[in-house]
A and B are shown apart, each in its own frame.
Chain A
């Protein structure tokens, strides 16, 4: 019985016996746990980053001439032979990468949905926290990267959307792709690469934070390392289209 003070005179007061525990809300524990999701993000992100670094270094072979990059592209398919059948290692890498990316995206989606549920009402007024730009662009930056990767595969892996589209002739395909009149492709590429840069800058630091034991002093070092890697990746990836655009590579 609940007694309120809005009525006339005093009424009897409710009674409770001790030992009776107030009803606790029934909650279920979400699985996987938030920390597990974070660890998945970190590990899968690390795999993707390793791939990106290798990819970027491979790209730079274009500056050594058409033969260099085309030979390199062919080698990627034959590496491991004759011990392994052709393209085995390539497909292993592709499989691992796909699993990592899918795990990364699924975890990110779950964490995002939980984050929205955890903060259903936004602040009327919240200024951005200094230095958190990269952190705040992770989600839509990630979406841009996914869209770009799909296009990128159709463009330079399958050749479907490439104006040249000759399998094995990587140099020609790239030069055709970033031709000056196709500026919109270059722009899309550049935006995606910058998004990757931001993503890596926060992601690398965040992953180290998740998996490592960082101290207050080490944190600034880690942030520095993440920034250097992110800038190196961005510059490395951007150098190719801009070289084509400016005629350095033709």
Chain B
């Protein structure tokens, strides 16, 4: 489609020119329509909050409505800026379909819970109830987040370190392999949660018991993958290093370990997933703090909004942890071609 017509170029007729200018503006707006639609979607969410009185007693409906309008306005503003700025326009257009969907889903959620009560209460709290948790129960949530992160980080780091060292030792030394391999085969596949009752008896505190279990859940995949990584290093690398004068320590630290790193990261990734499960179960069963405990506690009080709020935080934390792991991997494995994007 030509952008300039003959009449444009010759300025024959002011009317035609004006019409073509309006149509080009329209075209530009149409290109960014999805951005404006996303703004409207969030505005619809705001409206849905104000549409009629809540069927229950929720104190944050007004604020949530304002937030909905504010976010909708911000999206629309960004879409408008996108008409001139290519960078902003691209960023808005990439996110707009998701933003639109989220706005509409929030509006629908608001209507079927707080306004029409189509979903049974209190099991399906409306958005404002969850926002209320974040504003009114924040200290306890933050405390739980810190407790969970502390427990998870401690257990994971211990498990990853022990698993890595064990894996390298089995992969490198026949003698270590002889003794450790059968134990690994026997104990490794057992779900770490199966140890829970024993661990809580055997360890002096529920915190140390949980740390042990998380370390166990992390350690097994890290050990196995590190070991298979070290074992699969091509002997040609060792030959090259040896002819160049490498000593055994050089072969371990400068050949075997770097060559095995891609495998190690698969193990770290699998271990992370397994350790999340153990963390939550341990917190539900014995530890008196953390997000798992918060979930359990909220359920005991039938505080379903608190459960959803905690679940949301938990998923952000787990996803953040995996993103962080992938970032570390991308830094360390820049030499690999085409690593998977998280």
Q: Do A and B come from one complex?
A: no
Q: Which residues does A use to contact B, with CB under 8 Å?
A: none
* Residues of B in contact with A (beta carbons under 8 Å apart): none
